[in-house]
A and B are shown apart, each in its own frame.
Chain A
Amino acid sequence: MSTLVKIKIDEKEYEVPRGRYLLAICQENGIPIPTLCHHESVEPWGGCRLCVVEFRKKRWDSWWTELATACLYPAEDGLCVWTRSEKVMKARRTILDLLLARCPGSEVITKIAAEHGVYQTSFAKREGEDNCILCGLCTRVCDRVGARAIATALRGALKEVSTPFGEPPPDCLGCLSCAHVCPTHTIGHTEADGKRTVWGRTFELVRCSGCGAASVTREQVEYAVRTKNLSPEYFVKCDACKRRESAATFAGLLFDERKGGEGPVGPTGSGPSHE
């Protein structure tokens, strides 16, 4: 059981578990903080710096404050936090100015920047097709999924998210997790005729035996069967069909009960089957 501590956010008091990150606390309490590189499925990273907040520790002089990324700053007793102070907004505007220079074509960044009063960048715009901000969320999520197919390559100005040797990745499952979490939607992928292409590799999709919809790749099925101890049968039908069948089975059971038949099984019994 973690100890509760008292902290102040924007002059309002909160009682929170010691060590919980400020961004999590703000999100739980409906305090808006912009962020691009954060995702609940992976550890906080502090890559985009947008969630920067101003804070003062308990024993600090009353005129002294510092800035820190909320996603990585743990709560401690007597902490005072300001999420929208002038110092914070100035820092965020600089960050957005830089992000805008990196990805002038990104709608997401243009929108957040405009919300902060940054309508154009004061730096030289980067030339390039993609809107990658190098937050590394895609690589972290890929590691989390377990495919570990992509990582950052090179460094400094040349740094990029890349597959090994820039070739179609052998370890990729085609699950599109990277594309879905990308804050600037810059990971290109296409899906047509039962085939999905991402990172330059084309995957064959498995069709649902019920409705014929193609939703998972053969590699995803094989990976899940191999590592998550699932039966290949689990992927014969798509999630929508499985839900429909469960609903039908459940409705049937209720109907039987009303007729006074055997009725549904007791509370210890199994749920609706997927057969």
Chain B
Amino acid sequence: MKTPDLTKLDTILERHEAAERSLIQVLQDVQKEYRYLPREAFEKVGRHCGVSVARVYSTATFYKAFSLVPQGEKLVRVCAGTACHVRGAGLLLDELERALSLEPGKTSPDGKITLKTVNCVGACAMAPCVMIDGEAHGNVKPGEVVTLVKGGRRDAAAD
């Protein structure tokens, strides 16, 4: 893995108070900027917030929103909550695993796409739900999920 460009890290740190309570916000911004938490950043983040590298690692591994490995440019999250599960989230996941040759939680080798499951996105009324880059798509059918993920319009698939 090549060393990430850490010049933007200083700009991120400048935006936040040098205190322990900023740690999560700093990590969120770093995650947003690099699409993961580069381990090279841990020491600097820790020093800024006055916490140990061990504490930064502890926080980074605790929250699911943080990742220690680079995430794909597109993040696809299939909701696997109870309502979505009952209404066929498993079928959507099978379909995506097959079409993208990816296991849930993994990123494609070209770094384009990451497939994940989440336990609930809070949109149970439109189950089964798929989040693509933060945008929720409801009532997704197995036949259209691949087109949807590849950026196509779903009515095109429905035809």
Question: Residues on A close to B: CB < 8 A?
Answer: 139, 142-143, 148-155, 162-165, 169-171
Contact = CB atoms under 8 A, between A and B. Distances in A.
Interface stretch (B12-20, B49-57, B75-83, B87-95): B49-57
Interface of B: 39, 42, 51-58, 61-62
B42 A164 contact: yes
A153 B57 contact: yes
Contacts of B53: 164, 170-171
A148 B61 contact: no
Question: Interface residues of B: mostly helix, strand, loop or mixed?
Answer: helix
Given A164-B42, A165-B39, A149 B61 contact: no
The interface centre, meaning the residue of B39, B42, B53 with most chain A CB atoms within 10 A of its CB, is B53
Contacts of A162: 54, 57-58
B61 A153 contact: yes
Contacts of A150: 54
Contacts of A142: 54
The interface centre, meaning the residue of B39, B54, B55, B56 with most chain A CB atoms within 10 A of its CB, is B54
B54 A148 contact: yes
A149 B57 CA distance: 11
Nearest to B51: A148
B37 to A, nearest CB: 11
A164 B57 contact: yes
Nearest to A160: B61
Contacts of B52: 143, 148-149, 151, 171
A162 B39 CA distance: 15
B62 A164 contact: no
Nearest to B55: A151
A144 to B, nearest CB: 12
Contacts of B62: 153-155
Given A148-B51, A164-B42, 16 more contacts: A139-B54, A143-B52, A148-B54, A149-B52, A149-B54, A150-B54, A151-B58, A152-B58, A153-B58, A154-B61, A155-B62, A162-B54, A164-B54, A164-B56, A165-B57, A170-B53
A254 B140 CA distance: 93
A154 B62 CA distance: 5
The interface centre, meaning the residue of A142, A143, A152, A164 with most chain B CB atoms within 10 A of its CB, is A164
